[in-house]
Amino acid sequence: METKILYGRDLAKEIVEKIKTKVKNLKDKGLRVPGLAVILVGNDPASKIYVNKKHQTCKEIGFNSFSYNLPEDTNFLRLKELIEELNEREDVDGILLQLPLPEKLREKSYELIYSISPLKDVDGFHPYNVGLLTIGDDRGIKPCTPKGIMYLLNHYDIKVEGKDVTVVGASNIVGKPISIMLINKMATVSVCHIKTRCVPEFTAKADIVISATGVPHLIKKDMIKEGAVVIDVGISRLNGKIVGDVDFESMLGHVSAITPVPGGVGPLTVAMLMENTLECYVRRENIYSI
């Protein structure tokens, strides 16, 4: 069987180009450009890379980006004050608090996310936006990685209606929201997590497998039905190489389509963040066409 490689990188470039043109149109009309504030607490190396990529893409597009790199020992109140200040700022359309937070603040992550205005919640993590997503109301802001996966599936004409989809990983960032989005599109969804007794039982029956665990090469060929579609959201390091959750090489010739790591879902996450920032701006400014 021929395996199609689902590249997200090229799609992300197209999305970024489209937004760039829109920002140019705004500037030509003498209007304010969208602004994104990104808060990074501590020194997590992976988070630093992700945050830099977000700032770099803002710059490329022509968005204003505001960077808040705070020390590891920043306390809860200082962060909450900063978020409240950003909620009030006219020139800030989106607020992103990079996760995970340092150990001491981790249990307060959701309290901080709740303090971000739902209108500036570019991550779509606020309960207001999670609620709209769960109901299937498109007026909310959707989380970037799941939104990117749905974009990718739609672009490559991979239908989900009536399909058996297994999601491996039940995080609030990816696993849960992608499961809800798929249910809203009438897929039959199974969700596996660390307490699932037999993960292969669920992956082997699926038409589409989406893995978002961060465990390198967790998903092997014998866990996947021939001709299935595999979406790999994981990104980790194995023997000095960037790899995903899926043993990619072994899937070639076995599955009908698969996303590579890197160059698959990752770049779409950043592109969707840019889309969400523009969406928040458009709503705040009451602009109907750019």
List the catalytic residues: 54, 98, 123
Q: Quote the least distance from Cβ 173 to ligand GUN, whole Å.
A: 5
Distance CA 183, CA 163 (A): 10
Q: Quote the least distance from Cβ 107 to ligand GUN, whole Å.
A: 16
The DSSP call for residue 103 is G
Residue 158: Cβ-neighbour burial (10 angstroms; 0-12, 13-18, 19+): middle
Q: Quote the least distance from Cβ 265 to ligand GUN, whole Å.
A: 11
Nearer to ligand GUN, 174 or 224 (CB): 174
Residue 56 token pair: 């770099």
Distance CA 163, CA 160 (A): 5
Residue 261: Cβ-neighbour burial (10 angstroms; 0-12, 13-18, 19+): buried
**Tally of CB atoms within 10 A around 47:** 16
Q: Quote the least distance from Cβ 96 to ligand GUN, whole Å.
A: 5
Nearer to ligand GUN, 34 or 124 (CB): 124
Q: Using an 8 Å Cβ cutoff, are 123 and 96 in contact?
A: yes
Nearer to ligand GUN, 173 or 255 (CB): 173
Q: Quote the least distance from Cβ 9 to ligand GUN, whole Å.
A: 17
Nearer to ligand GUN, 144 or 228 (CB): 144
Q: Give the binding site for ligand GUN (CB under 6 A).
A: 96-99, 123, 144-145, 173, 269
Torsion region of 162: left, alpha or beta (phi above 0 gives left; psi -120 to 50 gives alpha): left
Residue pointed to by tokens 């969700």: 191
Nearer to ligand GUN, 34 or 94 (CB): 94
Residue type, 213: T
Residue 6 token pair: 């689902």
Nearest residue to ligand GUN, using CB? 99
Which residues does 7 contact at the CB level (< 8 Å), separation at least 6?
259, 260, 263, 264
